[in-house]
Amino acid sequence: MILRLFGTLSFLATAFVLAAGLTTLAYALATRRRRLARGVAIALGVWIAGYGATLLGVSALSHEEILALGTEKPFCGFDCDLAFSAVQVDTRSGIEGLPKPAGVYYVVSVQARSDAKRVTIQPSDVRLGVVAGDGHLYAPAAELPAGGTRRALLPRTSCVTEVVFDLPADVRDPRLVIQEGGWPTRFVIGDENSFGHPKVVIRLAAPGSV
């Protein structure tokens, strides 16, 4: 939690520094104040290099975390009011309305829960996938209801969406990946979406099982 808060505050501070620095740099160039322009450019370069090194360093020192079914995965900015979990997994040879699977359908019941006291939470850019033991990532074949993982959540409510994956019949160690947040999270120190950062995944089967 402390690292997430530090990452968010550092990102906001960096955005402010860049905006102020670029504005000052533009002013210095327009008024031909070369010494000021050079100083601002160097300061911005040092700040960006330090931030980038910290971003990549934290990612390199982090490790993958594997959660069990039913364990919630929180998504945090300044708070942790949004959480996802996989509450059930079924395998099916076919589903009405969907084409015959190339392998077998894994139907994962994904629960989204809001712990907010007053505000409605709108999940942002939710992305799901299943990574197999060999590292191959499989995208969802369908969501029932469609777009259910992105629906707005009223305070202290939850909803369940069945997410369907077409996986090989002999798939090993499938793990669910749930990511939430837009492109800015790629640049937040300690955020799971940041460059090179390992993911928090949910194991859908015991190692070696089908």
Please name the fold of domain 65-203.
Immunoglobulin-like (2.60.40)
Q: Which two tokens stand for residue 130?
A: 């299943």
Lowest mean pLDDT segment, chosen from 8-22, 98-112, 164-178, 194-208:
194-208
Sheet holding 200-203, edge to edge: 65-67, 200-203, 175-179, 127-131, 137-138
Buried b (16+ CB within 10 A) or exposed e, 140-165: bbbbeeeebbeeebeeeeebebbbbb
Q: Region 123-134: what's the mean pLDDT?
A: 92
Q: Quote the pTM value.
A: 0.82
Where residue 78 falls among pLDDT bands split at 50, 70, 90?
low
CA distance 114 to 123: 10
Q: Region 170-174: what's the mean pLDDT?
A: 94
Q: Which two tokens stand for residue 178?
A: 């749930």
User: What is the predicted pLDDT for the residue at 77?
Assistant: 59
* E strand spans, 133-196: 137-138, 142-144, 158-167, 175-179
CA distance 72 to 77: 16
User: What is the predicted pLDDT for the residue at 206?
Assistant: 47
- 90 three-state secondary structure: strand
CA distance 3 to 9: 10
User: What is the predicted pLDDT for the residue at 76?
Assistant: 73
